[in-house]
Amino acid sequence: MMTTLLPAVARPATVPFIVTLATVSAAALVVRPSGADEPAALVLPESDDGLPGVGPIRRSDWFRNLWKERRGAWAGRKAADKRALVFLGDSITQGFGDDFRGAFPGAKLANRGISGDTTRGMLLRLADDVLALDPAGVVMLMGTNDLEEGATPEAIAANVQAIIAAIAARNPRTPIVVCQVFPSAAEKKRPAEAIRKVNALVAAGVKNVPQVRLVDTWTLFADAQGDARPAEFPDLLHPNDAGYAKWIAALRPVLETLDLVPAPADDFVPEPGFTPLFNGRDLTGWGYRDQKTQERQLDLDGRTSSPDGRYVAHGGRIVVTTPPEGRRVEQLWTTAEFPGDFELRLQFRATPTADSGVFIRAPQLQCRDYLLAGPYKQLQRYKPQDWNDLVVVVKGGSAHCTCNGEVLEAALAVPASGPIGLEGDSGQLEYRRIRLHQLP
């Protein structure tokens, strides 16, 4: 028998549409029991008639053989791959290998990438290859092959939305991490403008969907013209080892925060004379204040999350989560105020293009993915998507601020007293090892 994934969509590929949860019923998602795959289910249908989604499905001999080979192997591993973190995609995902280059030790992972596949092909095989595993989470990277086949950005975005809707209909608690389409090149039939449009449509479609985390993997890789860099994409399409390392680094903070991959233990002990401002367990000592008057509004003592989930104490870190709207400015403050001179030390880690800040009594020191989001794009020691040391020394009415020893601000004017704050704007930021030493 054939698996029914979603109702067939009879629309022209040039007409944009969004598949919402309301259009996907649970009854439309039929998943065969483990081990029940018949050979016929692994063969690509000869025509698109009655198939879900829109746009191209590849049917060349090499692709048919690869489709059957990989899916046949997966069919025998369904039971073993239950509750894995599933990566769904094309050749870039397949190139990760089943061991994912050793990137996420201790995590249960399943690679469901097929070289050459399109978003419609992934939608067609979603139930058997992904949903049947009851995945702990799904990482999606898809759409580049559709462009080579002449699909419109609207059709690609519609299929992505259909996949997200199907995962959510199966389990509304399954975390979904959507990676933006990587840059390529016009000579690969993947011009920058088309990729930008796909990414913009997908981003618009996942706004206000808390189940989805969007990772900006386009800006991460694009050059000034919006194309792939040969140093990371030798054929202007597939990443090399350096490219995969950057993708892994971009994913790791999000996957750790979602508990999809284990985070290394942090046994840091503050230096003598330094007092922790964060206990590593909950938001005791932090809360919300009125943004104009600085009056305390809500203390978060004993809580592991702010009421809206924007600030979360997790794994020894204060995580500023990505807002479902894509961007929303919000501030978290210490309940204590700090007069006089002091030295503040902390570490931060930012996802690509993330934007946050550290308030020093009131003025904000921009804390971002500096090399992509600015303003300090010329730093030589900044470590993208890794932990960076921020040191702020306040003396008199000014603060001397450094990142990994490089000066950010030599003399940032600050008031005589006030709290320490963290801002959330866009993307995910994490802060840890937050401690302060009062200077004589």
pLDDT at residue 117 in the model: 98
Give the integer Cα–Cα distance in Å for 79 and 97: 20
Q: Over the chain, what is the mean pLDDT?
A: 91
Does residue 250 sit in helix, strand or coil? Answer: helix
Longest dimension (CA), the chain: 79
Mean pLDDT on 203-209: 95
* Number of Cβ atoms within 10 Å of the Cβ of 235: 12
Backbone angles phi, psi at 249, to 5 degrees: -65, -35
Mean pLDDT on 84-94: 98
pLDDT at residue 9 in the model: 32
Strand 429-438 with 420-426, pairing: unpaired
265 has a pLDDT exceeding 70: yes
Rounded to the nearest 5 degrees, what angle is found at the Cα of 282, between the Cα atoms of 278 and 288? 80
**Neighbouring residues of 264: CB distance < 8 A, sequence distance ≥ 6:** none
Could you report the per-residue pLDDT of 295-308, keeping only the tens digit for each?
999 999 999 999 99
User: Is there a contact between 336 and 285 (Cβ–Cβ < 8 Å)?
Assistant: yes
Could you report the per-residue pLDDT of 218-228, keeping only the tens digit for each?
999 999 999 99
Reported as a pLDDT band with limits 50, 70 and 90, residue 142 is very high
DSSP state for residue 9 in the 8-state scheme:
-
Give the integer Cα–Cα distance in Å for 425 and 330: 7
DSSP H helical segments within 328-381, as ranges? 370-373
229 CB burial (10 A radius; 0-12, 13-18, 19+): middle
Backbone angles phi, psi at 262, to 5 degrees: -70, 145
Q: pTM value? A: 0.90
List domains and CATH numbers for the chain: 21-257 (3.40.50.1110), 275-438 (2.60.120.560)
Could you report the per-residue pLDDT of 325-352, keeping only the tens digit for each?
989 999 999 999 999 999 999 999 999 9
362 has a pLDDT exceeding 50: yes
Residues in the chain: 440
pLDDT at residue 319 in the model: 98
Contacts 24+ apart (CB under 8 A), 286-293: 286/311, 286/318, 286/332, 286/333, 286/334, 286/335, 287/332, 287/333, 287/335, 288/331, 288/332, 288/333, 289/331, 289/333, 289/419, 289/421, 291/331
Could you report the per-residue pLDDT of 37-69, keeping only the tens digit for each?
455 678 899 999 999 999 999 999 999 999 999
